[in-house]
A and B are shown apart, each in its own frame.
Chain A
């Protein structure tokens, strides 16, 4: 329990905008959360919610318009010096969604997996590089003989593994997994999830797991944040959240999860979220509040009252 308590990544009041002047679009609006070392942190939302943008902002693919991203005590967004940039390249890596689009079709697998190493040059001899690459392939369950082949010769699941090998060969501490299994078949998803869990145990990795599939998130994450239109509406330990969702958006999202059990699925009641009905934020804007230990929610005073009552009904003691 204690080793989880070190904060590896902290995001404070993050704001990301796209477009210029009149067509300015705010993708991420005042988002704050932190990730402990060694945990799997889930970021859940639907399309357009901004979850992918957050992931890309952390790894510096997108520019931030406000707020701070602090990794292991150092600020990593905005302008940073080359040394720090190089350090982040090694310590934070990303796994992409579409295995068909995330590998360079015209390059051999060996080049694809070695690409990061070529950039970092953190090996002395070519032998050493080859060693690292082979080890990475074995770690993801692929045979080293596959290194001389091209991506199109592999299936979706295998390609995704190559993508994973490409990131872990850098020996990162934080891996941002942007919907890593959405594009895979059902039975292959299980393989990749097992692989990720296995690697986490072996190498002490920390994951930021971005997804829209709530059943997967429940299985693999320790804590999860729900994001709606650029704002995080609720954040809590996974089990706690799934058992007692408070925010109406969280509730509607969870009620829509398909359950592979005919009886339960047909008895299910769908909740629909309509921001204009559920909230009245004109007079009383919401704040990001810790309603019980490690359970945050975006709400104004009136809503907080209700939530506390709901928690009390479920026998949970709220803060304040």
Chain B
């Protein structure tokens, strides 16, 4: 199918009016074959059509499989873009989350591209654990028929940078699979290298995999989300329509509820998804950076292809609130400071330093007089922040809600404010817009059957997606029992969305609630304790098919996981081994969902 073929369409041979056809032809003029292929898939998705070549799809084992293991959505985005590019080249490709993939299928694959991120302690993401374990395990099969390439995503400031990807890459080779490209490990700024790797990988695929022109439209598994035209690089300008404190002035934390207006025709999200939010740095902080470095605000610097003033670069393009070890490393060279050089030589110390400081602390503690360009290149590109969405479009189609904990602390002689959270809490004016985009979180979805019971465990802002869940279930008339296990510090000060939960309880939607406020009594009580206390009921719910959700800090997630093992042991009368199998079984059945940060 080409643009010229389309141009040959007569009004009589299509359901389109002449005017519409003209507009369509005009829109397609000048598109490359790759772009056209993408548009064809896009339009199929818009129309909600079943893939037209269903008969073909049945007989054809996809020639190219893109497997991804994603925690924050970055690996998924890379994989999806890879799938679209493959389609553009006329390659039959399926893009599948490792969480949805049966590991045994690997023996039937011929060509697999793997995109896998690595978490803090070197482990794979939640959804990739089963496949990763299978491949690395003793019972892994011979894979000598398989060709593959691995792209790792990670953060080089961690000890085990891209370890999960490394392990998988090495092991696949051990199992006889043929590595067609050297493994690529991308750091936090992954876009460029990932893109380049995708190009090389598809070149290899084009070389090694027979192309079938008819397969362009058969893209089973590719998550085309045609309505979300907006993404990280093309965000939607959402206007802030409501901002309120959810905590009292004497609370330990400061949590804000924010509502943005969105056009439902341009932005679709599902409960469980996150919203990426772009922000501007604090002008006061920029001023401090300029003062600390003695640089001129108007000095021109070049970022990528853009030339702009240093002050604008600091405000809008460079990361000023999260300190990455590489920045401290680069600054050690620029400042020439002996102590910093020593620090930078010790990876663990450097990481600890970076975790406790912001760039301004570094620039102040180890003064230097860099050139504007040096500072601009030492700092990292500004990254949008992801927040779990706290609303459902089933209830409020044209809004998206966030629950944002404001990062605010005093250290190293100055007050610190989170980049995005400070922007959202204090600097973004009502009715002003900021760029946002939806990041899907397919691992954190309500069960399709509204009658399925769910247990929602969340601490702090971790309750945000549950507000979205209950809005969704309320709007859909879902009858499944809902059990909320909510934790925070003080009943009176930071019971986030208390009135909402109470209203849902009164309406009969929230069937059960267990609360854990850690600082109300002499004994600190956390959500995991509530689960243990009600072990028999938790176990019964799970045994009867409930889905379990855990959202919040990583440490909380680990504590809850341990509690679940205890629940299975106490509540289900299982021994340690059987308890572990029970919990693994939940995970395997897609009934144990985690969203930890």
A and B interact physically: no
Which residues of B does A touch, CB under 8 Å? none
